[in-house]
Structure 1
Amino acid sequence: MIEPFANNHQSMQIGELVIENQEDKIIIYGDLDLTLDASGYEQAQQLHALTAKIIQAFEVNDTYSKNDSKSKENDDQLGKDIDNPFL
């Protein structure tokens, strides 16, 4: 289990769902099929535990309510238009 917002090098996987940890954001991508069986139940528990830890990190750190540091500033896509290299 990752420690949300603690570092820039942790990641984990639940099914085909990938969760990447960074100091200013959590990146989640992929697919997760929660089937109504023991495997689906285990994956649902992992997802629930992860989201609970993420919510707890927000609750103990009020940085998210300030607009001083936005994750978008550290994003690869800053909303700038770039020329299409394939044209």
Structure 2
Amino acid sequence: MIDPFANNHQSMQIGELVIENQEDKIIIYGDINLALNDTGYEQAKQLHELSSKILSAFESKSLYSNDKAKSKEKDDQSGEIIDNPFL
């Protein structure tokens, strides 16, 4: 199980559903079929545990209001204006 918003290198899979951890977001993609059997029950429990951990992270750390945390997809521009060397 991942530790939500703790790092940029954890991931996990439930069925064909992939969950990637980042410091400022959780990325979830793929699909899952929850059949009415033992496997479906176990997968549903994992989804429930994961969503509970994610909600707890929001509630306890207030990460949703922290704009200092950045992911690997952050803007790579410094915001500094420099002279154009081609002019």
Q: TM-score, normalised by structure 2?
A: 0.76
Amino acid at match of 2:44: A
Aligned to 1:29: 29
Distance, in Å, in 2 between the alignment partners of 1:77 and 1:7 is 15
Contact map agreement 2:34 2:44 (CA 8 A) in 1: yes
CA positional deviation for 1:45: 0.2
CA positional deviation for 1:75: 7.3
Distance, in Å, in 2 between the alignment partners of 1:25 and 1:75 is 11
Structure 1 gaps of 5+ residues are 79-87
Distance, in Å, in 1 between the alignment partners of 2:43 and 2:72 is 29
Which structure 2 residues correspond to residues 1-87 of structure 1 after superposition, within 5 A?
1-64=1-64, 66=65, 69=67, 74=71, 76=73
* Bigger share in helix: 1
Structure 2 gaps of 5+ residues are 76-87
Q: TM-score, normalised by structure 1?
A: 0.76
Aligned residues: 75
TM-align CA RMSD: 2.1
Distance, in Å, in 2 between the alignment partners of 1:77 and 1:57 is 21
Deviations 1:3-57 (A, max 9, x none): 0000000000000000000000000000000000000000000000000000000
Amino acid at match of 2:34: L
Which protein, 1 or 2, shows the higher relative CO under an 8 Å CA cutoff with sep ≥ 6?
A: 2
